[in-house]
Amino acid sequence: MSGALAIALATAAPQPLDNAISISIPSLDGARGAQVSYERWLFADYGVSVAGDVQLHESAIGDYTGIRTGAGGEVRWYWRASSRWGPQPDGSMIGWFTGARIDVAADWTHDHADQRWLGTAMSVGVAGEIGYRLAPWRQLVITGLTGISVRTDFDLSGRVPDWTRAAYDVGLELGWLF
């Protein structure tokens, strides 16, 4: 009888949620756009997930507008993956994580005074990050993260030299586990 009870309890236990989709706003300094991400466990037993994202951003500075489209990929390691602060089962993509990502984007700049496109650039960036994903209600997730990134812009017209810069990043994502 105890074996049947153990089997019944094991089958009744909720399964970890293996997928997440999230959206983040690019910045709070007047930029418009969004980044949409899909994340999935790669090795759930080890807490390793992979994510891919697409992004579209527009920023305006005076007489110029910049448009950026891009894609990125990320690997995250959840070293806790526990549901201490939410209703999800242990093993879901929640808790503390660290990650590494790469982004590739194309940038276009437009001059409003002369009504012409000024140039196109390609950018490649890498970043390391640390964060926490909280699941406060049902499958809703809020992810806060911070990290350091390095990005290089390559001017495709050849008129401007390549430019490499480092940044301290802070992000907030809103998403859904399923």
Q: Is the pLDDT of residue 138 over 50?
A: yes
The first and second tokens of residue 50, run together, are 């992979």
Q: Contacts by 131-134 with C-beta closer than 8 Å and gap 24+? A: 131/96, 131/97, 131/98, 131/99, 131/171, 132/95, 132/96, 132/97, 133/78, 133/93, 133/94, 133/95, 133/97, 134/85, 134/86, 134/94
Q: Is the pLDDT of residue 172 over 50?
A: yes
> What is the set of domains in the chain, with CATH numbers?
2-177 (2.40.160.20)
The most confident of the ranges 30-39, 44-53, 88-97 is 44-53
pLDDT, residue 158, reads: 80
For the segment 76-128, what is each residue's pLDDT rounded down to a tens digit?
999 866 656 555 666 678 889 999 999 999 988 877 777 777 788 899 999 99
